[in-house]
């Protein structure tokens, strides 16, 4: 069983929801990302989403755009990020999933990408610009290499598409809370809970909610309806400040989010 599935199974037994934290790999530097993953695990994060920086991140708001630019300037690449994951795997068994745009994967080579994921210890991939229509080969290679293909469902997705998305997803279904790009919002749409409920009536797979969630109060609300809560920009902002003590502050934020999500 994949580490993501195991984690959700374990949390379910404990009656808990998953805290999924996103960080941009290589921002401000890859060595820092490695330390951050371990620190976040200690702070109560259940699953890490490692963002693969891309020059043209159309689904991301200003915070992650800036983080991607910084990481690219520092020379982050898939090859180096795989090396970092290998190093991490000597230290942790926590589930790691990639969040990447399609082109870096395509250029790396799909077959080689999935083989390397398996061998390095990457448990899943989220590709926001890869629609289910275009995902045939990706899904086949994901299955072959036991790498979860996590698809996104949106507030605009009709029921029929959500069914397909759920059927094609492994690990969990990523529900996008709002129509928009990533980034902290002061208010989330009131219909999130109802929409998550609708998805859960279609599938038994875990549903995690992301986009816009930035503080403990929001995380607590989302944790009531979803199986997982994804926080990205708020963490990236804290980390990417790059100032002394940034990691410490990030851990503090993660701890408060973990308490909210785990119902402590």
Q: Which residues are catalytic?
A: 49, 60
Total residue length of the chain = 264
Q: Using the minimum distance from each CB to other proteins, give the nearer residue, 34 or 129.
A: 129
CB of 175 closer than 8 Å to CB of 196? yes
156 binds other proteins (CB under 8 A): yes
Rounded Cα–Cα distance for residues 102 and 105 (Å)? 5
124 binds other proteins (CB under 8 A): no
Rounded Cα–Cα distance for residues 260 and 103 (Å)? 36
Please spell the DSSP secondary structure of 115-178, one letter per residue.
HHHHHHT--EEE-TT--GGG-HHHHHHHHHTT-EEE-EE-TT--HHHHHHHHHH--S-EEEE-S
Rounded Cα–Cα distance for residues 40 and 30 (Å)? 15
Q: Using the minimum distance from each CB to other proteins, give the nearer residue, 131 or 224.
A: 131
158 binds other proteins (CB under 8 A): yes
Find, among 183, 229, 231, 235, the residue nearest to 206 by Cα: 229
61 binds other proteins (CB under 8 A): yes
Among 39, 155, 189, 259, binds other proteins (CB under 8 A): 155
214 binds other proteins (CB under 8 A): no
Cβ at position 9, least distance to other proteins in Å? 26
User: Which tokens in the block code for residue 263?
Assistant: 């119902």
Q: Using the minimum distance from each CB to other proteins, give the nearer residue, 104 or 121.
A: 104
Cβ at position 154, least distance to other proteins in Å? 4
CB of 36 closer than 8 Å to CB of 247? yes
72 binds other proteins (CB under 8 A): yes
Rounded Cα–Cα distance for residues 3 and 85 (Å)? 14
Which of the ranges 43-51, 64-72, 222-230, 241-249 carries the binding residues for other proteins, by CB under 8 A?
64-72
Site track for other proteins across 168-207, x = CB under 8 A: --------x--xxx--------------------------
**Hey, which residues between 80 and 119 contact other proteins (CB under 8 A)?**
102-108
Q: Using the minimum distance from each CB to other proteins, give the nearer residue, 33 or 65.
A: 65
Cβ at position 194, least distance to other proteins in Å? 17
How many CB atoms neighbour CB 184 within 10 A? 18
Q: Using the minimum distance from each CB to other proteins, give the nearer residue, 164 or 255.
A: 164
Find, among 122, 201, 43, 191, the residue nearest to 209 by Cα: 191
240 binds other proteins (CB under 8 A): no
Q: Are strands 96-99 and 207-210 parallel, antiparallel or unpaired?
A: unpaired
Contact residues: other proteins, CB under 8 A: 54-59, 61, 65, 69, 72, 77-79, 102-108, 128-134, 151-158, 161, 165, 176, 179-181
């Amino acid at each position: 069983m994949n580490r993501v599935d195991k984690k959700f199974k374990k949390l379910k037994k404990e009656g808990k929801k998953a805290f999924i934290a996103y960080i941009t790999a290589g921002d401000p530097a890859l060595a820092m990302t490695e330390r951050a993953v371990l620190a976040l695990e200690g702070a109560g994060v259940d699953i890490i989403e490692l963002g693969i920086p891309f020059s043209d991140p159309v689904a991301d708001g200003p915070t992650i755009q800036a983080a991607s630019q910084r990481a690219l300037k520092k020379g982050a690449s898939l090859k180096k990020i795989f090396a970092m994951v290998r190093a991490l795997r000597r230290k942790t068994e926590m589930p790691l999933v990639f969040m990447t745009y399609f082109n870096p994967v395509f250029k790396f080579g799909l077959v080689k990408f999935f083989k390397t994921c398996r061998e390095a210890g990457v448990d899943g991939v989220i590709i926001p610009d890869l629609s289910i229509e275009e995902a045939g080969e990706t899904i086949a290679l994901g299955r072959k290499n036991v790498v979860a293909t996590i698809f996104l469902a949106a507030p605009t997705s009709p029921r029929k598409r959500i069914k397909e998305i759920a059927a094609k997803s492994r690990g969990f279904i990523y529900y996008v809370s709002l129509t928009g790009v990533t980034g902290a919002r002061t208010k989330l749409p009131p219909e999130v809970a109802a929409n998550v409920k609708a998805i859960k009536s279609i599938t038994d797979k875990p549903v995690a909610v992301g986009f816009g969630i930035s503080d403990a109060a929001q995380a607590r609300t989302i944790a009531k309806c979803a199986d997982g809560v994804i926080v990205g920009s708020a963490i990236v902002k804290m980390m990417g400040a790059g100032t002394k003590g940034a990691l410490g502050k990030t851990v503090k934020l993660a701890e408060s989010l973990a308490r909210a999500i785990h119902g402590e």
